[in-house]
Amino acid sequence: MNTALIFSEELSRFNYGKDHPFKPIRAHNTVEICERYNLLARPWISVIRPRMATRDELCLFHEDAYISALEEVEKGNFDISMLAYGLGTDDNPLLDGLYKWCLSTTGGTLTGIELLNQGYDRVFNLIGGFHHAGPASAEGFCYVNDVCVAIHELLREGRIRIAYVDIDAHHGNGVQDAFYEDDRVLVISIHESGKTLYPWGGFENEIGQGNGLGYNVNIPLAKGTDDEIYREVIEEIVRPLLKAFSPELIIAQIGADTLISDPLTHLRLTNNAYRFAVHALLDASPKLLALGGGGYDIYRTSRCWTLAWCEMNGIEPEDTYAGIVGGMMFGPEMEMGSLHDRPFFTTGEVKEIAWEEARTACQYIKNTVFPIVGVR
């Protein structure tokens, strides 16, 4: 097994603004934890800087005029017409170094694809997974959709069985729209329901169309969904679909904003369910490219990403400084004394509603999608 962690200290210091919830510093915190738990100094592990994408690579998915607008922002130019591209909003502010940031974050994901092609088995690009951006629009903290660029590159190379699995609490609308009519890409998104969370879509009846009918799968979850419900959804829907589709590789957006403490979402997961989901993805394909995605409780997100890295490498985290001042009482572990969360279960009417909505969505998928994909 060969694995790679894609990381740039420079990218982790990129600043969306003091009051903006998206904090790239999560990547730095993750690497810091991994180093303290001795999760990087192994003979099969590489830590690799992302390369920069080219303009032409961005245009594998994005419209030329939109990329030109991003270049103008880089030069310090702005006019009111850029608002039509979603640039200059509260979610997607105009930032110094923005175009270089887009080239580098997309380049990190393309680096991951290249590493898989070179024989690596599992790659984790910490600052990637910008799944909301459209061909000509910035949206939801995402300026350039590195996922879509990477999948288009894989299709250009002749890959025909690519699975994209998104466990971020927010529906991956940009990726869904890009491949809604394409049966070469199986898109699966498990997310908080669009009834209660941006981007207000991703319902179970959105199953693709044309050639892509049955190859777009959404599992919307109600507020209060906990680990127990989440694990059942993975066992009942995600595992059978991936087994039937048998992808050459999986690209996974493993955002950690499903956690109970996340300030922007309403699910109630612990990182035990998160780790279970990552393990299921590893079971489904020998090749995995994981992308960081969301997560707005920055310390718990770093904890999740560290546990995901443990899963990718078959390592159990062990803090060699436990019991020493500064040992376990490091930022992400201060509450728990461990990388793992305590179990938590929703109860009462909230749990009943969450079960009902999850099972309704699952049954719809079994009735409509399973026969198309060939789930037995």
Active site residues: 132
- How big is the chain, counted in residues? 376
φ, ψ at 346 (rounded to 5°): -70, 150
Phi-psi region of 100 (alpha: psi -120 to 50; beta: other; left: phi over 0): alpha
CA distance 94 to 96: 7
What CA–CA distances, in Å, run from 342 to 11, 190, 281, 306? 32, 22, 23, 17
CA distance 148 to 285: 20
Task: Enter the tokens of residue 215.
Answer: 């190859």
Which of 206, 230, 172, 173 lies closest to 351 in space, CA to CA?
230
- CA dihedral 318→26→167→216, nearest 10 degrees, is -140
Task: Enter the tokens of residue 176.
Answer: 């869904």
- Going by the DSSP 8-state scheme, the letter that residue 77 receives in this structure is -
Centroid of chain to Cα 258: 11
Which of 143, 211, 131 lies closest to 177 in space, CA to CA?
131
Which stretches of 107-259 are assigned E, i.e. beta strand?
A: 122-125, 162-166, 185-192, 216-221, 249-253
